C-alpha cells in the first residue's frame, strides 16, 4: 500500500491510499501542473527513513504562475532538510503551490 500526501498552500492536507505507487500522472492532477520538480524535505511523519527525509514533488514552474501561493509548511520542511544536510537554496527561496509526498506503508509481518 502507498499513501500520496497532498499538502496544499493553505495547509490543507489530503491523503490518498492506493495499492500501486502513485505516478507523475497521478501527481500532475493534484499539483495542477505540467512539469514536476523533485527535491527533498524533512517530514518525519511521512517518512519510513530513520533520518525523516522524503522526496517532495511540486510544480517546477511555480514562479511563473501568477496566482501561486506560498506553501509555508512545505518550505519549512524543505529548509529543515537543507539545514540538516548542508544543502542550500538561493536566499529567500519559498516553495509555492501544492506539494506531494509518496509514502510506502510498512509491511506488517
The tens-digit pLDDT sequence of the chain (109 residues) is 999 999 999 999 999 999 999 999 999 999 999 999 999 999 999 999 999 999 999 999 988 888 889 999 999 999 999 999 999 999 999 999 999 999 998 776 5
Residue pair 82/75 in contact (Cβ under 8 Å)? The answer is no
Whole-model pTM: value is 0.92
Domain boundaries, the chain: 2-104
Amino acid at each position: 500500500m502507498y499513501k500520496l500526501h497532498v499538502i496544499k498552500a493553505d495547509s490543507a492536507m489530503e491523503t490518498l491510499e492506493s495499492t500501486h505507487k502513485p505516478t507523475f500522472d497521478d501527481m500532475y492532477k493534484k499539483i495542477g501542473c505540467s512539469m514536476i520538480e523533485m527535491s527533498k524535505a524533512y517530514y518525519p511523519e511521512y517518512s519510513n527513513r530513520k533520518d525523516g527525509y522524503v522526496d517532495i514533488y511540486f510544480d517546477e514552474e511555480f514562479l511563473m504562475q501568477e496566482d501561486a501561493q506560498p506553501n509555508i509548511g512545505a518550505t519549512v520542511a524543505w529548509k529543515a532538510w537543507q539545514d540538516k544536510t548542508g544543502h542550500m537554496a538561493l536566499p529567500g527561496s519559498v516553495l509555492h503551490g501544492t506539494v506531494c509526498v509518496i509514502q510506502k506503508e510498512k509491511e506488517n509481518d
